[in-house]
């Protein structure tokens, strides 16, 4: 009947309204980060990291009404991020992984799996918490900041742990961009080997592209495909972590439905490639949504709590970086 339709919308308003201040602030910082990255012209400069740094600065230098902002921050870190992970599937196909050949698939899979296990065990030996070790392991083994925040949907660590893990993978991913070209200048690496090494071991997608293309177009293309193969493996990693945590707690294993959505979109894109315009839109939307989530993460992070984690997690991140770089180089040389 006329006049009865607006009622449900009005009923939902009280639940949406508390989200708006925090969500709005995180979105504003994300827009600033995206604009700064575009103005710089540096493809290797991640707007995700910029957004987190802006959020950290604002949170720790300016008094914020956290009680009012927290609901929106939480929504950004959880719901907005999960939507971004689903949309990430629109950039990937299983055919991309197959194009690496068995040598590339073995290199990527071995680097990811062995690095993750090495980091978890070393973290235990160093006395780093299980949650923080898992976040550093995922960020190093899979895909940097994106993997860290996605993994936290099942790890459920404190925001300070997530921020610390992201800081670790950012630092060592940046060092890779400086060190890998030096190795290329000194060692007889083929373009395929150099690209595979870069894609199988460097943390962020932008860092891989910035590094791999220094070895030429073939190296850049190989590195990009290898990196996308690692991103696809994020889904089984999160599902496995959820199952392990469910067994350890005796509770029912959590089912991260957003990961299944990610895999479904990868499958759709594999069977029927998305139109170029739609794929470009999804790529932009994925970056924008992840940037909002990272801005919210920074806005929730108290640097005093971050400092309390000490230097052991940093040492863990350094060891994981050296491990994956060394293993990846050895496999790339041996198998290509």
Burial of 159 per CB tally in 10 Å (0-12, 13-18, 19+):
buried
Identify each DSSP E strand in the chain by its residue range. Answer: none
Phi then psi dihedrals of residue 105, to 5 deg? -65, -40
141/231 Cα distance (integer angstroms): 10
Using the Cα atoms of residue 205, residue 210, residue 211 and residue 214 in order, give the sign of their dihedral. positive
Return the number of other C-beta atoms located less than 10 Å from residue 110's C-beta: 16
Confidence band, pLDDT 50/70/90 cuts, at residue 12: very low
- What is the average per-residue pLDDT within 129-153? 82
Q: What is the pLDDT of residue 246?
A: 62
6/324 Cα distance (integer angstroms): 56
Return the number of other C-beta atoms located less than 10 Å from residue 121's C-beta: 12
Confidence band, pLDDT 50/70/90 cuts, at residue 74: confident
- What is the average per-residue pLDDT within 34-47? 81
Candidate ranges 28-42, 70-84, 294-308, 312-326; pick with highest mean pLDDT: 312-326
Contact 225, 96 (CB under 8 A): yes
Mean pLDDT of the chain: 83
Q: For 106-110, 183-187, 231-235, which range has the lowest pLDDT when averaged over its residues? A: 231-235
How does pLDDT run across 76-119, given as a tens digit for each residue? 877 887 888 788 888 878 887 788 888 899 999 999 999 999 99
| pTM exceeds 0.85 | no
Residue 30 clears pLDDT 90, i.e. is over it: yes
Return the number of other C-beta atoms located less than 10 Å from residue 9's C-beta: 9
Q: What is the pLDDT of residue 252?
A: 55
């Amino acid at each position: 009947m006329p006049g009865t339709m607006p009622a449900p919308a009005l009923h939902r308003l009280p639940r949406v309204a508390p989200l708006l201040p925090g969500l709005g602030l995180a979105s504003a910082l994300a827009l600033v980060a995206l604009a700064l990255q575009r103005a710089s012209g540096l493809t290797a400069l991640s707007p995700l990291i910029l957004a987190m740094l802006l959020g950290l600065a604002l949170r720790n230098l300016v008094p914020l009404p956290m009680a009012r902002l927290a609901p929106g921050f939480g929504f950004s870190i959880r719901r907005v991020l999960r939507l971004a992970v689903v949309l990430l599937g629109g950039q990937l196909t299983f055919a991309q992984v197959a194009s690496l050949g068995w040598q590339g698939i073995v290199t990527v899979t071995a680097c990811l799996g062995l690095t993750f296990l090495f980091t978890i065990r070393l973290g235990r030996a160093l006395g780093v918490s299980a949650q923080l070790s898992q976040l550093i392991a995922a960020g190093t083994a899979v895909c940097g900041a994106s993997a860290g925040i996605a993994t936290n949907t099942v790890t459920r660590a404190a925001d300070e742990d997530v921020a610390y893990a992201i800081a670790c993978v950012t630092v060592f991913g940046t060092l890779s961009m400086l060190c890998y070209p030096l190795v290329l200048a000194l060692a007889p690496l083929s373009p395929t080997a150099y690209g595979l090494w870069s894609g199988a071991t460097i943390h962020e997608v932008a860092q891989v592209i910035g590094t791999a293309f220094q070895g030429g177009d073939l190296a850049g293309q190989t590195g990009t495909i290898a990196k996308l193969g690692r991103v696809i493996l994020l889904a089984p990693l999160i599902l496995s972590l959820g199952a392990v945590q469910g067994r350890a707690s005796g509770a029912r294993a959590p089912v991260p439905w957003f990961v299944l959505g990610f895999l479904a979109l990868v499958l759709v894109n594999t069977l029927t490639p998305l139109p170029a315009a739609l794929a470009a839109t999804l790529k932009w939307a994925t970056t924008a949504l992840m940037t909002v989530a990272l801005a919210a993460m920074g806005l929730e992070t108290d640097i005093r709590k971050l400092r309390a984690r000490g230097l052991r997690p940093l040492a863990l991140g350094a060891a994981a970086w050296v491990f994956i770089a060394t293993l990846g180089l050895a496999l790339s040389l041996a198998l290509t």
